[in-house]
């Protein structure tokens, strides 16, 4: 059973592009904030925080418009979405069974590694 439906592709693609734009704007704001701390730009540039946030918003908007206007990017995102629709997500019962199996396997391996470590430690204490 797929969570994602084929007819919702435009909504999900636009959401993804918006998230990428928000992330790029956030990164610009954080970068300019760090540069402001390092070089004391808050004292040198009036309204530095507003300028950095405006630059971040502008970069986010430019990224959104560039991705939306690029036909090859839209085609790639459509292909990615069409492949994502084909994914069959596991039901909760199989996820629980797999998780329990992994936890049991990790526990067994942990006991083995602790035992080997204890044996080597004991041997080294006997030698030295």
pLDDT in tens, 28-71: 999 999 999 999 998 999 999 999 999 999 999 999 999 999 99
Residue 102 has which token pair? 């992994």
Question: Sorting pLDDT into bands at 50, 70 and 90, what band is 77?
Answer: very high
One domain, residues 72 and 109: no
One domain, residues 24 and 78: yes
Tally of domains in the chain:
2
Q: What count of residues does the chain have?
A: 128
One domain, residues 31 and 18: yes
pTM: 0.66
Residue 13 has which token pair? 């693609």
One domain, residues 64 and 127: no
User: In 10 A of CB 16, how many CB atoms?
Assistant: 14
Q: Which of 100, 30, 21, 121 is nearest to 62 (CA)?
A: 21
pLDDT of residue 63: 97
Question: Sorting pLDDT into bands at 50, 70 and 90, what band is 16?
Answer: very high
Average pLDDT over residues 13-26: 96
pLDDT of residue 69: 94
One domain, residues 37 and 61: yes
Cα distances (angstroms) measured from residue 123 to each of 76, 113, 117, 120: 59, 15, 10, 5
Average pLDDT, the chain: 93
The domain in which residue 126 lies consists of 91-128
């Amino acid at each position: 059973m797929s969570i994602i439906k084929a007819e919702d592709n435009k909504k999900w693609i636009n959401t993804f592009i918006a998230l990428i734009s928000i992330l790029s704007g956030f990164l610009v704001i954080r970068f300019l904030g760090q540069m402001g701390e390092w070089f004391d730009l808050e004292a040198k540039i009036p309204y530095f925080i507003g300028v950095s946030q405006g630059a971040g918003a502008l970069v986010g908007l430019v990224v959104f418009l560039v991705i939306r206007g690029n036909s090859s990017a839209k085609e790639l995102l459509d292909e990615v979405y069409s492949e994502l629709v084909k994914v069959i997500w596991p039901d909760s019962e199989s996820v629980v069974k797999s998780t329990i199996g992994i936890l049991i396997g990790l526990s067994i391996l942990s006991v083995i590694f602790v035992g080997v470590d204890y044996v080597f430690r004991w041997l080294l204490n006997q030698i030295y």
